[in-house]
Amino acid sequence: MLVHELLTPSSAICNLEGGSKKRTLETVSKLISENTPDMDITCVFNGLHGREKLGSTGIGDGIAIPHCRLAECKNATGFLIKLESPIDFDAIDRKPVDLIFALVVPEDATSEHLQTLASIAELFSNEQVREKLRAAESNEQLYKTICELSG
């Protein structure tokens, strides 16, 4: 699945105030549950936070890809977030994170989950992609940029 196929215009958020890793995961969980009525905010947070306890999803270069599989999830869903200010995310390179792609997939979508994570990581490994996303100044511009870059 292509990255932009996981997003809608309302799932690209520019200049979100993060504060901390936990607070950001709480906010992401709230956004996902508000946009996907089948998914309870507590379940989403517990899934994302539980995955972080296994090891940080901060992959370096200011990028984090928090993700989980949930029984309540019917269709893979993503959120792209550009934080107002970088936060500590316990990334492997110890650099703060300012771009987050949150991914929630159905519990039984193991191979799809891994393929999608790989495509997200590959896209975000490109410095030009990161620069263009960081240059976005609105939700609409962030969404349009990711669609152009991943399409």
Residues 6 or more apart from 72 whose CB is under 8 A from it?
Answer: 38, 39, 40, 43
67 catalytic? Reply is: yes
Residue 101 DSSP SS3 = strand
Q: How many CB atoms lie within 10 A of CB 86?
A: 13
Q: Are 55 and 35 in contact (CB under 8 A)?
A: no
Nearest to 104 by CA among 143, 132, 147, 65: 65
Per the rule left: phi > 0, alpha: psi between -120 and 50, beta: everything else, 31 is alpha
Block residue for tokens 């379940």:
43
Which residue of the set 4, 49, 67, 113 is catalytic? 67
Distance CA 151, CA 39 (A): 27
Q: Which residues are catalytic?
A: 67
